[in-house]
Structure 1
């Protein structure tokens, strides 16, 4: 039998730690309940998940589910755009030429050393507000066919809010690209130098070596951490509520104000974030194990 194949056992120390954790949670709950003078009422929450549409004759998503869909939608798009930008920046960071390496370094250090909220405001009010109107997206959507409009709304959300959506998408992508660039750079540097020498020995150019030899091996190494970056993106997407994008946190804030049930709404919203992030963590954990087997 292989020495490392034994299943972990649940020992007495684990029981003590678990019991201490349960006791700590119970004590905190008791203290909060005794100090906080508050009447809990969760009855309003289910109505904001789904509602019955009499015109359509069936149940449809309500505000919280719509917000969750928008959160997942903007996170997926931001990951796609940030992965493309981050890969380019990561390659630039490992370039032997000074100018690409300097541009990649300046971008990464600039983004990583600015807090997300100031960056979001600066980008939205000084850059996005000038560029997005020039694209005439609203005019193009007004002339689009119903089928085209349906596809656009499925991919990007309501047509009347698509400009805000794109602003938030670009902001999140630019912030996340800096971190993905470092992940890609580490993956490229992890490829043995012998791979470069082998490519040179058969007459491949530097671009061909990077494209056909280095990047395929680097991508295998960086897929698990980039997948983990997606979880960070889901949580960071709550920042775009500051520019009125109707994702989960924005709609939860409106519900909490209208119902005057701040604790219930935000606790349930936190549970929704935890559920989707933990589900992604489990899925990416399996992906990491599969990728690890291929790298052995």
Structure 2
């Protein structure tokens, strides 16, 4: 039987009141002591603008940054998952060479500062690898429909190389953490499962595919989903390499309007809109998995 969820208690109301008082005190200190003039009325125009020529509302700086962050996080996550799984399989495999190689890569990525990794990978990819494929030229010479699809899924042709470099960099960085999650899931499967699959005549690859990985994936779904939420937040670091995601746009607006607090509170709210539904979904997923295990 599951315990009933309790409603708001007196302690909850007290803590909420204290938080509201603290927020009010911060606003008072900023307004009175720093002589800060609030100007929230200007913020909505940086989200959407009305185009007179097209007679409709269009996304503006912050919404463009939000969409870039969403695309960057989505594609980086799609790449980080299989790359992390490959690293985890090599890390838990029988061949010493692959185990050492995977462990070295994972430890380097996890123990170097993210900013250093971003710079190292970005400048290598942007200066050496991406130009070899001439993606910018191919995108600019493509048909209008193709350019429109690329702009929606990735970035405009002029920003495609920088976007791909940042996406690959973020994917490689996050793959080390994904690999450790998968490794923990694989190693959590009981030894008897391996022995039973071997007794049935399955090879190691078949055992992984049919017996071990299905169980491991179910066990690591909650932490894996949590890592994908962290990926959305970690994407802010690519603003240092001038990819026009949400944090970058917030920095540019702050520099041009001097509305430091309004801009960054808005940026924080937009990040919250991205991450909170994911966190809520992870909570539901975890509850459902717990119910299945108990049943």
Provide TM-score, normalisation by structure 2: 0.93
Q: Where does structure 2 lack aligned partners over 5 or more consecutive residues? A: none
Distance, in Å, in 1 between the alignment partners of 2:126 and 2:158 is 16
2:106 aligned residue (105, 108, 115) = 108
Alpha-carbon shift at residue 126 of structure 1 (Å): 3.3
Q: Which residue of 1 aligns with 2:286?
A: 288
Q: Deviations over 1:22-59 (max 9, x none)?
A: 33333333333332211111121111111122333211
Q: Which residue of 2 aligns with 1:45?
A: 43
Q: Which residue of 1 aligns with 2:77?
A: 79
Q: Which residue of 2 aligns with 1:194?
A: 192
Q: Deviations over 1:1-40 (max 9, x none)?
A: x4x4233254444444334333333333333333221111
Alpha-carbon shift at residue 256 of structure 1 (Å): 1.5
1:211 aligned residue (190, 202, 209) = 209
Q: Where does structure 1 lack aligned partners over 5 or more consecutive residues? A: none
Alpha-carbon shift at residue 104 of structure 1 (Å): 1.2
Alpha-carbon shift at residue 252 of structure 1 (Å): 1.4
Distance, in Å, in 2 between the alignment partners of 1:20 and 1:149 is 52
Contact 2:250 2:264 in 1 (8 A): yes
What's the secondary structure of 1:5's corresponding residue? coil
Q: Deviations over 1:201-254 (max 9, x none)?
A: 111111111111111111111122111112111111111111111111111111
Distance, in Å, in 1 between the alignment partners of 2:114 and 2:80 is 15
Listed as ranges, the matches of 1:243-258 within 5 Å are 243-258=241-256
Distance, in Å, in 2 between the alignment partners of 1:257 and 1:178 is 35
Going from structure 1 to structure 2, the CA distance change for 1:150 and 1:24 (only over 3 Å counts) comes to closer
Alpha-carbon shift at residue 153 of structure 1 (Å): 1.6
Distance, in Å, in 2 between the alignment partners of 1:5 and 1:200 is 41
Q: Which residue of 2 aligns with 1:158?
A: 156
Listed as ranges, the matches of 1:1-296 within 5 Å are 2=1, 4-296=2-294
For structure 1, which segment, 137-146 or 167-176, has the greater mean C-alpha deviation from structure 2 after superposition? 137-146
Provide TM-score, normalisation by structure 1: 0.93
User: What is the aligned length?
Assistant: 294
RMSD: 1.7
